[in-house]
Amino acid sequence: MAAGVTRERYGDPMADAVFLVVGAGDAGPGDRDEMLRRGQAALQEAGVDGIDRFDVPARGVSTDEGEGVLRPEVAALVPALQSGSLFGGRRGCLVVDAQNLLKGEADVIAQLIAELDRGTAVVCFVSAGALPAPLARVVDRVGERVTVKKLRERDAAEWLTGAARRRRVSLTPGAAAALVQRFGSDIASLGQALDQLSMVEGSIDEADVISRFRNRPDEPMWHYADAVGEGDVGVALRRLADFLTHGHPLQLLAFLESDLRRRSLAAAAPDQATFAEWAGGSMAQFPLQKAWRSRGRASPERLRRALDALARADLHLKSMPEATHRLTMERLTVALCQWYGGRGVRRA
């Protein structure tokens, strides 16, 4: 089973006819690629004779919103679930972006799933986030759930090793690291890069990768925050450059303000329960766990200095020319590394 994938099979005899592949609500291209792959694999393992794909549009994006209960893209799924294949055998229905189903649509599909003829039809819902409640209740009762956790760079590096071997692409360790740096956890783009490199004879080194692929990955902000928290200036500045290729500095500043708030609350709280209450969350949430583990690494004085620096950076970004924004964020990054990096600052 792929890294970050877990399966739960329920006791209902229909569990081999109803599947749910669920990923994170903010799933990136690589995550979506893995979710679709798992959905297709689930249907194939169920022994279907063919797969029909149904893409659920977001609200307001349908080709015809109309006045009916079902939008056209969803209405096409109904006969497939009711009659299966016209030529006998089991037909697979792959419902992509099922999180976009409207409540009325979810009610209708849930009823069809409850009455599904498992001898003629198999359905797999692929959802970035939770299904609408009416459908989720039925699927949880009668189906099998495959959870695809958000891919990390470590997962992508492991995937890259196997994918390169299958394509017979010889990568030096430096080339593999450079590919992950360029594309992050986006295994869909990594796969396309390997397809291009498969046309090159001989071993691929770091210089080959850097010269051929000049884009930066659209990396999550927590990659940057992790480097800042470790006081690793070199990595933090690289992560900053990666993020600013796709994102706006004010997005990152808002993230840093939330992170500082959690750090400050953790430093002041007498125990975990109080901290979770003050933060308005649960200690099961990863951001709260991380903030609690880092408490004590930065003194109250350093946290106050960080708050002042964030406020000044916010004012600068909103009032000064855009050409100065990157330098402001770089200076802020170096300062935060010094204030947060309790085990000492590591220079590039």
Query: Of 222-231, 263-272, 314-323, which one has max mean pLDDT?
Result: 263-272
**336 falls in which pLDDT band (50, 70, 90)?**
very high
Higher pLDDT, 89 or 237: 237
Mean pLDDT of 305-314: 92
221-340 fold: Zinc Finger, Delta Prime; domain 3 (1.20.272)
Higher per-residue confidence, 241 vs 98: 98
Higher pLDDT, 168 or 16: 168
Decide: 180 and 156 in contact? Cβ < 8 Å.
yes
For residue 137, give Cα distances in angstroms to 113, 131, 286: 11, 9, 26
> What is the average pLDDT value for the chain, to the nearest integer?
84
For 61-118, how does the pLDDT look when each residue is reduced to its tens digit (9 = 90+)?
Answer: 555 555 567 888 899 899 988 875 555 568 899 999 999 999 999 999 999 999 888 8
Of the listed ranges 13-22, 70-79, 83-92, 251-260, the one predicted with least confidence:
83-92
Predicted confidence at residue 188, as pLDDT, reads: 77
Contacts of 234-241 with C-beta under 8 Å, sequence gap 24+, read 234/346, 234/347, 234/348, 236/333, 236/334, 236/336, 236/337, 237/330, 237/333, 237/334, 237/348, 238/181, 240/329, 240/330, 240/333, 241/216
Q: With a cut of 90, say whether residue 126 has pLDDT above it.
A: yes
Place 225 in a pLDDT band, splitting at 50, 70 and 90.
confident
Phi, psi of 298 (to 5 degrees): -120, 130
Q: Is the model's pLDDT at 347 over the cut of 70?
A: no
pLDDT score at 73: 85
pLDDT for res 10: 47
The topology (CATH level 3) of 5-148 is: Rossmann fold (3.40.50)
> Does pLDDT of 216 surpass 80?
no
- Least confident window among 79-83, 135-139, 220-224: 220-224
Closest to 9 measured CA to CA, from 137, 144, 126: 144
SS3 assignment for the chain: CCCCEEEEECCCHHHHCEEEEEECCCCCHHHHHHHHHHHHHHHHHCCCCEEEEEECCCCCCCCCCCCCCCCHHHHCHHHHHHHCCCCCCCEEEEEECHHHCCHHHHHHHHHHHHCCCCCCEEEEEEEECCCCHHHHHHHHHHCEEEEECCCCHHHHHHHHHHHHHHCCCCECHHHHHHHHHHHCCCHHHHHHHHHHHCCCCCCECHHHHHHHCCCCCCCCHHHHHHHHHCCEHHHHHHHHHHHHHHCCHHHHHHHHHHHHHHHHHHHHCCCHHHHHHHHCCCCCCHHHHHHHHCCCCCCHHHHHHHHHHHHHHHHHHHHCCHHHHHHHHHHHHHHHHHHHCCCCCECC
Q: pTM above the 0.85 mark?
A: no
Q: Do the beta carbons of residue 84 and residue 48 sit within 8 Å?
A: no
Q: Does residue 41 come out as left (phi exceeding 0), alpha (psi in the -120 to 50 range) or beta? A: alpha
Cβ neighbours of residue 84 under 8 Å, at least 6 residues apart?
90, 91, 117, 119, 120, 121
pLDDT beyond 80 at 161: yes
pLDDT at 42: 93
* Of 320, 198, 54, 177, nearest in space to 329 by CA: 320
**What percentage of residues in the chain have a pLDDT greater than 70?**
87
- Give the whole-angstrom CA distance, residue 138 versus residue 345: 52
**58 conformational bin, left if phi > 0, alpha if psi -120 to 50, beta if neither:** beta
pLDDT at 248 over 70: yes
In this predicted structure, which of 77-81, 296-300, 330-334 has the lowest mean pLDDT? 296-300
Supply the pLDDT for residue 322: 85
Q: Which of 164-178, 274-288, 314-328, 332-346 has the lowest mean pLDDT?
A: 332-346
- Residue 125 confidence (pLDDT): 96
**Per-residue confidence (pLDDT) for residue 218, from 0 to 100:** 52
Structure confidence at residue 85 (pLDDT): 52
Planar angle of CA 97, 98, 102, nearest 5 degrees: 115
Q: Give the per-residue pLDDT at 345.
A: 43
pLDDT at residue 11, rounded to an integer: 44
Counting Cα atoms < 13 Å in the Cβ hemisphere of 222 gives 8
Instruction: Write the pLDDT tens digit of every residue in 269-281.
Output: 999 999 989 988 7
